[in-house]
Structures are given as C-alpha cells and as structure tokens.
Amino acid sequence: METKNAAGRKEKQIILASASPRRRELLALMGLTFQILPSEKEEIVTGSTPGEIVENLSFQKAEDVTARLPWTVREDGQEPDAIVIGSDTIVVCDGEVMGKPHTQEEAFAMLHRLQGRSHVVYTGVTVMCRAADTITYDTFSESAVVTVHAMDDAEIRGYIAKGESMDKAGAYGIQGSFAVFVDRIEGEYNTVLGLPVAALYQVLKRYL
C-alpha cells in the first residue's frame, strides 16, 4: 500500500548503504525512518584528491545498493520511490590516505604518526533517488581538521588495547575513549563521525 505524508505526497523509502552504527545513529537523530542495506561491492579507490576519493567510494556504495533493490511495479505502472544514502570516510595525513589497520602494530604506527599534530578527515556522501524509471543523485564531500594531543607509547598501546582501532580509518574512533586525546576539531564533528548531517539535510530536502 502506498504511504503518504501530511502533505499528501508519497513517502519515499530511505535506505542507508552502510552497517556503521555511528551513521545509523546520526540518521536517526535527523528524525528519519530508514532501513539498512550495506553495500556488498568491493571498494575501488579512484580520484586525484581526497574529496574525489570519498565521493567516488560513496557513489559506488549507493549505486550497488540501488541496483539490488527490487523493482516491484505498482498498479499505476510506476516503481516505488527509494532514496539510498552511501557514505565513506578517510583520514589523510601529509597528503597520504590512511585506511583501517590490519594489525595492532599498524594501528600503533598510524596513531604514532597522528599524535601531537593535525590531520584531515574527509567524508563523502551520495544521495541516490530512484523514481519510476529515473535515477538521479547528488554527491558531495565535507572535511574537518582534527588536532591530536601528544601521546606517549604507553598511551597509544593502552588505547589500542581497548579494541577501538581495528575497524576505524586512521586507527581511532573519535566518539570513543580516544576523545581524551583530541585537542580540537575545525569543521563539523559529524563529518569526523562519518556523516555530515547538516550538509546531508540540505540535499535530502530536494528529494523528500
């Protein structure tokens, strides 16, 4: 059955193409009702700048999930509207992209490099809308500068021992216990978390 909002317009299905708990929480804070369908596509890194890299990765995720959605035809002959949100985040230090560590020693090396200085976090977002037989999308990226206090080796290893490093770009999660080492953030905090909600809201207003 078709669902309509207070203005009488058909509600669009919103899908988050990510299993990230942080992104799920941020979408919920925006007051959105959504489903979660993580992308299964193997990431292919392309782009000449960090912004292009995260934008391309977010597009790949949104495109993959959109292509996997069932195209159930309604009685009026049109497919149900769907909005897919793909997002990706990278950490950049001295122009080098830092991914997720594979070992604790890799995590140590990353954090040792980040401590006592600033680095940049980039998050790319793609909002892909399927309506009838047409697909439109918007892709953008936001960045924030994160400055980390000096950390000695014992502090770094103590943080790694908490288990927060291994699935995080740059080997840290700013929402966890690493917060005590963050000196300041220049830019939107949510960009560092993985979803710049203010910029996303402005894009979603064009589709909802």
Average pLDDT, the chain: 90
Does residue 130 register a pLDDT over 90?
no
* Active-site residue, from 64, 88, 133, 138: 88
Inter-CA distances, 61 with 11, 44, 103, 136, Å: 23, 10, 26, 15
In this prediction, residue 79 carries a pLDDT of 60
Report, as an integer, the average pLDDT of 111-130.
97
Is pLDDT at 23 greater than 60 in this prediction? yes
For 35-69, how does the pLDDT look when each residue is reduced to its tens digit (9 = 90+)? 999 999 888 889 989 999 999 999 999 999 999 88
Position 70 scores a pLDDT of 76
pLDDT at residue number 25: 95
At residue 81, the pLDDT reads: 80
**What pLDDT digit, counting tens, does each position of 151-191 carry?**
999 999 999 999 999 989 999 999 999 999 999 999 999 99
Question: In the annotation, is 88 catalytic?
Answer: yes
pLDDT at 80: 62
Per-residue pLDDT, 2? 35
133: pLDDT strictly greater than 70 = yes
Beta bridge partners of 128: 84, 137
Taking residues 121-133, report their average pLDDT.
91
pTM attached to this predicted model: 0.89
Average confidence (pLDDT) over 86-99: 94
Nearest to 119 by CA among 191, 20, 22, 21: 191
Give residue 7's pLDDT: 41
Q: Please, which pLDDT band fits residue 5 given cuts at 50, 70 and 90?
A: very low
